Amino acid sequence: MTAGVTPAARRVIRTLNGFKLFTGLLWWLPIYYVYQRDHGLSDGEIFGIQSIYYLAFCLLEIPTGALADRFDYRRFLRAGAVVLTAANLVPVAWTSYGGFLTHFLLVALGNSLVSGAGSAYLFEYLQRTGSVAAYQQAEGSGRAYTLTGRIAGLPAAGVLMQWYAPSPYWLSAACCAVAVLLAIRLPALPPGGEGHGGRHTSVRDQLLVGRVLRHSPLLMLLIAQGVAVFTLVRIGQANLFQPILTVKELPLAAFGVIMAVTTVFELAGAARSTWLRRFGDVPVVFALTTVMAATLALVVVTGATGTVILLCVFSLASGLVFPVQRRLVNTAITDSRHRATLLSLESLIDRSVCAVVVLALSGYLSEGAMDLFLTHVAVGTVVLMAALAVLLRRSRQRRHATAQAPTATKENVT
């Protein structure tokens, strides 16, 4: 951890890391596709539920983020963990389309409660205790904790399902219950800042946070950059992971093992993202996003062994890029009163794009055209990155020119 971090901040970081570890222990992640297929759902129904999940998350993300900014980030972390505990129990008792849909709707609610609030709480706490320099490393270590838990648990997912099909869901619920206890231990934010503990804004002001974005084109571009990162990670590690392994004719028992192996690479990246600072944050995000897109495209022409290797490279890049992207966006938010709302807005945009992409994915898979889908996603990502690179450069040039203008005016007056 970065030198100069206060003992209180270290305790908060450790507690949040534990929270992320236990809420991220989704034992059912490598087998939910097979589990739903075994209970009679078609590919169209499975990916239709995924699309509804993203849309539900979008509807919930801004209100929950705004309320978290208005009230208390910790309450939302606790509530989110409680909801996730309940969500993981639904597929145990209700193994039909309605049950699986309810499960993912509750997951959407739980994730919306914690997504913006978690990052906002961490950034605000570190900023108010003079430890903000440790934020990127703290985000990376939190991600590393989550991934470490998955490495330990995921290899057993396929075997557990074969032994007792609902067991991965039972274990996920138990882990989220532990996260509830950790969220209760988080201390209140220290005094200071314009949000909690300072001047409160109304919920109406939070919901009109779009005005902040209109005056910050750089933030908008960074959020758009994050959309590509999030969409690739979600598609590669959740929506298409199991179908890809199925097409490559790998056995079910190996699904969890392979996901754990790829997670090791993601963990390595998340724990060492600060090594890339010398290259500049924005160029690093562009380069790693392009690498991720390229690996998905190359899966089309490789066999089973090559696919596993490519998925490992994909995971390494995603582990490296996530903390960098988080720091870029948080640094670009200049008004701390709206931090959770803006982070929730970013998540909303991410999930909105994912909802559209998953709907398209369902159509591609129904026609047996997964390879074509992977190619189109890769090409689209590279084109988007090129366009954003040009726009970001122009935005920074305009900001530099604006900053120089008052100085030039003052010199002329003198």
Higher-confidence position of 186 and 274 = 186
**pLDDT at res. 178:** 94
- Residues 5-51: tens digit of each pLDDT: 778 888 888 898 889 888 888 888 778 888 898 888 888 888 888 88
Which region, left, alpha or beta, applies to residue 144 given φ > 0 means left and ψ of -120 to 50 means alpha?
A: alpha
Please provide the DSSP assignment of 25-87 as one string.
Answer: --TTTTTHHHHHHHTT--HHHHHHHHHHHHHHHHHHHHHHHHHHHHS-HHHHHHHHHHHHHHH
In terms of average pLDDT, the best of 80-89, 132-141, 192-201 is 80-89
Q: CA–CA separation, 224 vs 19, rounded Å?
A: 28
Q: Which residues does 320 contact at the CB level (< 8 Å), separation at least 6? A: 269, 270, 272, 273, 276, 284, 288
**Does 244 have pLDDT greater than 50?**
yes
**pLDDT at res. 306:** 92
Write out the CATH class of domain 7-190+203-403: mainly alpha
- Residues 288-303: tens digit of each pLDDT: 999 999 998 898 888 8
- Residues 253-269: tens digit of each pLDDT: 787 788 778 888 887 88
Domain range summary for the chain, segments of one domain joined by +: 7-190+203-403
281: helix, strand or coil = helix
**pLDDT at res. 410:** 47
Structural contact between residues 56 and 105, judged by C-beta atoms closer than 8 angstroms: yes
What is the average pLDDT value for the chain, to the nearest integer? 79
pLDDT band at 193 (very low <50, low <70, confident <90, very high): low
